[in-house]
Amino acid sequence: MQTMKTSLVAVVLLCIFGFSLGLKGDYQEKFFDQYIDHFNFASYGEKTYKQRYLIQDRWWRQGHGPILLYTGNEGPINAFADNTGFMFDIAPEFGGLLVFAEHRFYGKSFPFDPEVAFTKPYIGLLTIEQAMADFAMLITHLKVELNSTDCPVIAFGGSYGGMLSAYMRFKYPNIVAGSIAASAPIFLLSPELDRSFFFTDVTKDFGRIRDCVEGVHQAFIEMNMLARQGTTGLEKLSKTFNLCSPLTSNKEYQHLLGWVRNAFTVLAMMDYPYKASTFAALPAFPVKVACGLITNSTEAIFGLAKAVDILYNTVPVKCHNIFQEYVECADPTGCGVGPDSRAWDYQACTEVHLPAGSNNITDMFPVIPFTSQIRTEYCQQKWNVTPRDSWAATQFWGRDLNTASNIVFSNGDLDPWRRGGVLTTTNPNLVTQLVIGGAHHLDLRGANPADPPSVRAVREVEKSQIHKWIMEHYTKSSAHSPVQ
């Protein structure tokens, strides 16, 4: 999910290029003895594992200031801490303690040795419920350890992490006073969601640039013509895209198409107005840059190859190993690579139902289908599990948010995930915000001079809501609030 995921999410999440007040990376790494299984007393008993978390108390008014908790995503927690400058920016204003909690089965937080963690029965403990219980137990422990039991907790998260921050308010309102859920496609867990939106909206992002979509269409036509020529055409494709090993079959060609599509996914998600290194060191407005390479090329296919290199050649390589740079999985938008990709693949086969594939009708990409039936067959073969989407909708409320409260759902109009999120609500206890000119959870990034006015306004709304939640918390507890 790249966050929601891309093929590079686990290995090249780096520090943001921002101008936030907070010092990125200015935190301590610690570990908490976390229960392996929170819900089955007979399975692992009192056995624990080391859950990693990052903590920073530079501006904390101990015992009074709020605890600002980031609910970790599908990757190493330091990567998300370094890309969530908004929390560092506002910590001085609120006198807040910063805590970034790592998700089990990612980064350094493995309940079991990685050699066996992805086998049965151990992999069965990778669930949203277990991860949320980890966050709840960690925060409860820290509040006692730091003699701050009355401090309100505000959850933050982007993408899957944003889903978790919302779910924490759903499930643990006794612990979490409010949540900032940025680019959080929680309706993915509703079986009724039309999943064809994602690649359609990626196409719309590129369609903002004149002649770009037409150029991409033409490039794929040229690719298909070469592929039909057999060995000669596959060799030319291999040279055009600078592959380390020449393509030898239609199956490998299909993988090349997925590798190319994945690059466009990342460029659309990370279409920030300044240089950024979330998934790779991308230029400002990478969609515009990619379109320029495509439309200004003498042959569309050569422009396409250059556009793909914006992502895959940010760290210069002699050639591309498309099987290492992109791994097919239960998430058509990419699972990443390495152990983190395996964990996300399993989650995409169980509780998190990701979007459908591309169809070349409503989008500019080749026909690469991914239906619910394809997902089920893949998951049965790969993990020997069968998705139960009706249970996920029941467990995590589906579309019924009438009883939810104290959550800001923000989405960017450039973000292809936005239609999986909460864009409007009739619930007066929820707030929705649209970031005009905003890509994937832009509002959680550190303040930058190039930020569009809309994201600055959304951040002010988020801060206002946080103030409100803190005041409500202290009013209910009859304790003194440090926030004026």
pLDDT tens, 232-255? 999 999 999 999 999 999 999 999
Same domain, 181 and 46: yes
What's the first-to-final CA gap in the chain, in angstroms?
38
Same domain, 152 and 32: yes
Does the residue 132 lie in any domain? Answer: yes
Does the residue 35 lie in any domain? Answer: yes
Query: What pLDDT does 476 receive?
Result: 86
- Give pTM, 2 decimals: 0.94
For 360-392, what is each residue's pLDDT tens digit?
A: 999 999 999 999 999 999 999 999 999 999 999
Locus of tokens 């060799």: 235
Here the tokens at position 263 are 């690059």
Does the residue 10 lie in any domain? Answer: no
The residue out of 325, 359, 382 marking a domain boundary is 382
The residue out of 360, 382, 404 marking a domain boundary is 382
Does the residue 405 lie in any domain? Answer: yes
Q: Tell me the catalytic residues.
A: 159, 415, 440
- Closest to 103 (Cα-Cα) out of 160, 25, 188: 160
Same domain, 238 and 90: no
- Give the helix/strand (H/E) hosting 392: helix 389-395
Residue 480 has pLDDT above 70, yes or no: no
Write out the residue range of the structural domain in which residue 100 sits.
Answer: 28-190+395-477
Query: What pLDDT does 277 receive?
Result: 83
Same domain, 180 and 312: no
Query: Please, is 58 exposed, middle or buried when counting C-beta atoms within 10 Å of its C-beta (0-12, 13-18, 19+)?
Result: middle
- Average pLDDT of the chain to the nearest whole number: 93
Residue 330 or 279, more confident:
330
Considering the chain, what percentage of its residues have pLDDT values greater than 70? 93
Locus of tokens 């592959």: 243
Query: What pLDDT does 379 receive?
Result: 98
- How are strands ordered across the β-sheet holding 178-182? 28-35, 48-56, 97-101, 67-71, 153-158, 178-182, 407-412, 430-435
For 290-306, what is each residue's pLDDT tens digit?
A: 999 999 999 999 999 99
For 160-178, what is each residue's pLDDT tens digit?
A: 999 999 999 999 999 999 9
Specify the amino acid at residue 148.
Answer: S
Query: What pLDDT does 280 receive?
Result: 78
Does the residue 203 lie in any domain? Answer: yes
Does the residue 2 lie in any domain? Answer: no
Same domain, 225 and 162: no
Same domain, 239 and 265: yes
- Closest to 445 (Cα-Cα) out of 14, 6, 9, 8: 14
As a residue count, the chain comes to: 484
Question: Could you give the number of structural domains in the chain?
Answer: 2
Query: What pLDDT does 9 receive?
Result: 36
The residue out of 320, 351, 382 marking a domain boundary is 382
Which of 14-28, 303-317, 450-464: highest mean pLDDT? Answer: 450-464
For 144-155, what is each residue's pLDDT tens digit?
A: 999 999 999 999
Same domain, 276 and 343: yes
Q: How far is CA 310 from the centre of its chain?
A: 20
Query: Please, is 41 exposed, middle or buried when counting C-beta atoms within 10 Å of its C-beta (0-12, 13-18, 19+)?
Result: exposed
Q: How confident is the model at residue 279 (pLDDT cuts 50, 70, 90)?
A: low
Does the residue 228 lie in any domain? Answer: yes
Q: How far apart are CA 111 and CA 126, in angstroms?
A: 9
Query: What pLDDT does 4 receive?
Result: 46
Query: Please, is 453 exposed, middle or buried when counting C-beta atoms within 10 Å of its C-beta (0-12, 13-18, 19+)?
Result: exposed
Tell me the CATH number at 88: 3.40.50.1820
Same domain, 432 and 361: no
Does the residue 34 lie in any domain? Answer: yes
Query: What pLDDT does 5 receive?
Result: 45
Residue 357 has pLDDT above 60, yes or no: yes
Residue 10 has pLDDT above 90, yes or no: no
Same domain, 252 and 326: yes
Query: What pLDDT does 14 receive?
Result: 31
Q: How confident is the model at residue 12 (pLDDT cuts 50, 70, 90)?
A: very low
Lowest pLDDT segment from 20-29, 74-83, 91-100, 162-171: 20-29
* Residues 35 and 109: beta-carbon distance below 8 Å: no
Q: How far is CA 481 from the centre of its chain?
A: 33
Same domain, 253 and 329: yes
Specify the amino acid at residue 111.
Answer: P
Q: How confident is the model at residue 185 (pLDDT cuts 50, 70, 90)?
A: very high
Same domain, 371 and 309: yes
Tell me the CATH number at 264: 1.20.120.980
Residue 200 has pLDDT above 70, yes or no: yes
Residue 20 has pLDDT above 50, yes or no: no
| 297 secondary structure, DSSP code | S
Opening angle at CA 230, ends 227 and 236, nearest 5 = 60
Average pLDDT over residues 206-220: 98
Same domain, 147 and 32: yes
